[in-house]
Structure 1
């Protein structure tokens, strides 16, 4: 079992790497073209991931191991929800009253699936390191 401080540092490092990669790849894919929706969604998730990593890195106090584990498991459950919502968007391709083209809905949905799956791995791996 790892300490909460060690696990927090690992999560911050992984979230920083994933957020940076998401912003770089998303930025390139967001250029006008067929992958614009996927790129925009990926870019936005990357920015949020980096912000969360920065906020967490800046905190002096780390939750106790069991509290941190609970937080990570709740996050993992939310990640499953992101994957499900993204899959729904990608498969059903709703247009939201004509505000979104089906191809864009698919791109946004696939990006959400990818982000949710990656965050699920990060959160669940960290929670497993805090097992009793």
Structure 2
């Protein structure tokens, strides 16, 4: 069984890598009009992921194993919600009062699905390392 400190370090490392990759890919995909919504959503999630990783890295204390596992499991549940929300956007393609086209809703939705799924894997994998 891994220590809370080593699991936190692994999560921060994976979140930094995933966030940086998302920023790079999102930036490139935000330029062409056809992929702009997907790219912007990916870019924003990546920036938030990198920000969270930096904030976590700067915190001197690490939660106890039990608390860290609970936090990771709550995050995994939220990740499922992100995937469901992204699926709603991608399938139902709401226009939000005309602010989005169906294609934009689909692009935003697909990006949210991918981000939520990746974060789910990161969170659940880390939580499993902290099992009793």
TM-score (norm 2): 0.99
Q: SS at 1:34's partner residue?
A: helix
Match of 1:66 in 2: 66
Match of 1:107 in 2: 107
* Aligned-partner Cα distance in 2 for 1:32–1:83: 25
* Aligned-partner Cα distance in 1 for 2:52–2:131: 24
Match of 2:42 in 1: 42
Please state how far the C-alpha of 1:118 moved relative to its aligned partner: 0.0
Unaligned runs of 5+ in 2: none
User: Structure 1 residue 119 and structure 2 residue 119: aligned?
Assistant: yes
Please state how far the C-alpha of 1:27 moved relative to its aligned partner: 0.1
Unaligned runs of 5+ in 1: none
* Cα-Cα RMSD: 0.4
TM-score (norm 1): 0.99
CA-to-aligned-CA distance 1:87-113 (integer Å, 9 cap, x gap) = 000000000110100000000000000
* Aligned-partner Cα distance in 1 for 2:48–2:95: 25
User: Structure 1 residue 93 and structure 2 residue 88: aligned?
Assistant: no
* Aligned-partner Cα distance in 2 for 1:49–1:5: 19
Consecutive aligned runs of 4 or more in structure 1 exceeding 4 Å deviation: none
* Aligned-partner Cα distance in 1 for 2:69–2:55: 18
Please state how far the C-alpha of 1:33 moved relative to its aligned partner: 1.9
User: Structure 1 residue 53 and structure 2 residue 53: aligned?
Assistant: yes
User: Structure 1 residue 15 and structure 2 residue 15: aligned?
Assistant: yes
Q: SS at 1:35's partner residue?
A: helix
* Aligned-partner Cα distance in 2 for 1:127–1:52: 18
**Aligned length in residues:** 132
